[in-house]
Chains A and B, each alone.
Chain A
Amino acid sequence: MTAQEQTTQEHPQGCPKPLELVTHFLDGGKWESHMLGCSACSAQIRELDVDRKAFLAKHPFSSFMADLKKRRVPKEGRFGAFLKGLMSFGPFRTAAAMAGVAALMIVVIGRYDRAPEVLSKGGVDLRFYVAGAHGDGHEPEPGTNAMKLPAETALQFVYSTSPDQSQLLLVGVEQNGEFSVYFPSGGDESATVESGDQKKLPQALRWQPKTDYERFYAIFSKDPLKVDAVRKALDQLKTSGKSIEQTSRLPLPYSQASTIIYRKVP
């Protein structure tokens, strides 16, 4: 057990909370006088220091950066650069504004390099990247579940699946129960995708929620799955009175992964 884990055990009254202790160790602050008089906290602080030194001996900065570079993708061909170029094209911006660009589909070239170990549990997964989260010119940032994003944000979904579950249907369900099929675009059933870890969907989308949130479900199956089956599952949910916000899994007998995005009101 590390010192950090030890600090999460019940702490005596008057002592800092575990997170406060670590914060004090890292950045100093209001607990200085307490530390001088509390042997338990001082001992934990000493252990924190030992932990940090041991970590740096095992994972020096140079090896960390070398590992990180292996996982990062070269700038050229990245989704962000592509999107930035696309959005700076005047006629496109005008057309986008006029038409509302209901669901802009962008063919994305290149791939996100991820370590293959992530899929070792054999499950399925759905994640997304957000373009321009920190303004123009920045790389796409990994999105997080329950993230708040403004409408019109460009999203790139990535999935993980195994060869025996290579049919994918990606749907988005809004707060009011309306749903959209994002993959495959068009058609009334799932499509075959390449199995593996962190595979990018061939198209990105521009998020255009009408309500406060949208939950995205990636449903993986062995055989093709009809969109009608999803519709029925949603009807079933509606009858049971369960909201989409609370439902991370649709009542369907297939492997699923879901993520919810909340609309950020400017």
Chain B
Amino acid sequence: MTNEDIRGLYEKYGSWIFNRARSLLKDEQAAYEAMQDVFVKVMEAGSAFRGDSSPWTWLYRITTNHCLNMIRSRKAWKRALEGVGREQIRLMDEPQENADSVLINKEWFVKQMADEDETTQHIIFYYYFDEMTQEEIVETLGISRKTVYKKLKKFMNKARERL
């Protein structure tokens, strides 16, 4: 990958990688470093990256996964989700369209989410806050559709019991 290739990607997508990282990490310096990490991955991917039909989708996925991996504590999750997504979350009975649902406050939701394992946290983040479909989550996290469904359902059941 030439310097000009990198410049092109940086000038087109750099601000979005940075904004995405900052919106999750709530820290300018950490976001800047996260952006650097993402570009290191881009350079390492080289020609494989150039062949990608949708660079932004790839960059978005790498950036978000990278940042989510840096968020571990309940406090960090709470901070990360400030200003991201809706103030009320529609909690469904099961991960299917037209399932019965109830609207709950984001704060309560985040509290429940913070107690989950990391994979579930990432799935929940993408599903509720990024409004991704299950198929998109499968592609983004590189895990099976069955795992995504099972983890979402388990979380929904647990959260509904605690309501």
Contact A5 B83 (CB under 8 A): yes
Docked complex Cα distance between A27 and B54 (Å): 8
Count how many chain A residues have C-beta atoms less than 8 Å from C-beta atoms of the other chain. Answer: 52
From B45, B46, B143, contact of A148 by CB (8 A): B143
- For chain B, the bracket of interface size reads 35 or more
Contact A55 B84 (CB under 8 A): no
Asked if A228 CB lies within 8 Å of chain B CBs, one says no
Binds B, one of A89-97, A203-211, A245-253: A245-253
Docked complex Cα distance between A1 and B22 (Å): 11
Identify the closest chain A residue to B6 (Cβ).
A65
Asked if B99 CB lies within 8 Å of chain A CBs, one says no
Docked complex Cα distance between A54 and B13 (Å): 13
Question: In angstroms, how far is the closest chain B Cβ from the Cβ of A244?
Answer: 9
Contact A248 B130 (CB under 8 A): no
Chain B contact residues, majority secondary structure = helix
Identify the closest chain A residue to B121 (Cβ).
A248
Contact A4 B20 (CB under 8 A): yes
For the complex of A and B, list the 5 residue pairs with the smallest distance between their C-beta atoms, beginning with the closest.
A55-B15, A246-B117, A4-B19, A52-B15, A145-B69
Q: In the complex, given contacts A22-B56, A68-B39, A146-B119, what are 18 additional A-B residue pairs having Cβ atoms less than 8 angstroms apart?
A: A5-B84, A19-B60, A19-B132, A51-B15, A55-B15, A56-B14, A59-B32, A64-B10, A65-B3, A134-B45, A142-B40, A144-B69, A145-B119, A146-B122, A245-B117, A258-B118, A260-B119, A262-B143
Binding site for B on A (CB under 8 A): 1-2, 4-5, 8-10, 17-19, 22-23, 26-27, 51-52, 54-56, 59, 61, 64-65, 67-68, 71-72, 115, 117-118, 123, 127, 133-134, 138-139, 141-142, 144-148, 245-248, 257-260, 262
